Amino acid sequence: MVVRERGFWGVLHAPAVAVLRCLIVSLALITVSASAALAANNRYAAIVIDAKTGKTLFSRNADAARYPASLTKMMTLYILFEEMERGRFTLKSRLKVSKYAASRPPSKLGLKPGQTITVENAIRALAVKSANDVASVVAEAVEGTEARFAKRMTRTARALKMSRTTFRNPSGLPNSRQKTTARDMARLGLALQDRFPNRYKYFSTRTFSYGKRNYRNTNRLLGVVEGIDGIKTGYTRASGFNLVTSVRRDDRHIIAVVMGGRTGKSRNAHMAELIKKHIRHAKPGKRRTPLLVAAIPLTPPPLPRGRPFIRQDKPQLAMAMVAVPKKRAPSHDPLSELIAAQMEATGEMPQRVNVSPKRYASAGMASGETGVHEQVARPAASDNPVQARTKAGKDDWYVQIAAVPTREGAARLLQQAKLKAGRVLASAEPVTVPVEKSGTTLYRARFAGFSGKNEARAVCARLKRKSVDCLAVPN
């Protein structure tokens, strides 16, 4: 006698129904047991955050100390992107490989001492291949040594309110004092998108070719799980398998972190499970939280004596980024003190500070030693460039160098451009112009005081030759 059941099961004989049901139950138990095994791992930590509301949708050991492994390279790239935004590097700039950098253990590109690599290839090598030798190359180019670069990484982490993160190297290679948390890594993943939306695309790169080899992105979920657009994987024996992902789906956006996986496969499976379960609870529509941007210090740190980088347009010349001064500068910064005094008096961030060579020298440093001009980052009476003019009729065209989320950031970029440009901007007026974009206020960092379009364009062309990105724009 053949027994049949109604519905879907009705097409099968009773013994077959029993077998199929057992198989489905077994698969479900395997999935549950895999997640349970990962959660039982003492290195495990995870978090899922709604990027539009800031709400935590899932959390396990999210604030417990963990080793970041190659998730560290997210911060390495964050700082490199900062330097590019400031005009110090372009995608075509070439970074020199030291003997130390070439000696870093795998994963690596296999760079040789004395070789150079473009900034764009360095970015791809870090985001796709997770190359440790390239991480050291970037650190030395930016700060001179890994130790100084790691200190800057930690300072930047604090500015992003990653309060439980300490960096000791730019690669994530084993160091018992390099610690972070799943929550802090989620903040960093979001901060990269908020601060550098145009650079963030590198984290979604599927493959990277260098020399005669092709490298596949270590994030195997790219193109597999719908909506994933990055960000980074990591692994050391002490950390286990780590992964930070960003997912945009159905007008929702989440950041998810899994740390401490026993294998890359189990980590990926757990991440896919977290995304599937929690993304439907994220809120669609307009973002409700402010952009996550590091609070920019008022005075930029001194540029390093570090290793030179070579520009693409003059490959025959190995030019040091900064000349080492003959006289050692004092530990304090008189310009910073003057700006701080103005802030204390007015309660606002100054855009201009009147600094005469005599006053600057009496503060402990001759203006000629630093390249500081008489007029640098001086306070204006208003953010409106028309009200901030110095010569009537000369504010119709401007030279814009950036648009950043904070007034302080715009003022700092203007100050740095003045210092770097020297006589090119000797008579220009630094101004900031607030503008609303998609519900977010940005501050345009501009220079005014030009006779018209031709002069503004000529000045911008000279600034670009000094590695300062800019654009001549009308009022």
Q: What is the mean pLDDT of each run of 10 residues along the chain (475 residues)?
A: 43 54 54 54 94 96 97 97 89 95 94 96 96 97 95 95 96 96 97 92 93 91 92 95 96 96 95 96 92 61 47 34 37 44 45 42 34 32 36 63 82 83 82 78 85 86 83 84
Candidates 34, 36, 63, 32; CA nearest to 47 is 63
Q: What are 253's strand-pairing partners? A: 248
Domains of the chain by start residue, with CATH: 45-281 (3.40.710.10), 330-474 (3.30.70.1070)
Q: What is the pTM of this model?
A: 0.61
pLDDT, position 394: 40
Q: What is the pLDDT of residue 55?
A: 96
Q: CA-to-CA distance for 447 and 429, rounded, in angstroms?
A: 5
Return the C-alpha torsion angle 401, 407, 413, 419, nearest 10.
120
User: What pLDDT does 295 receive?
Assistant: 61
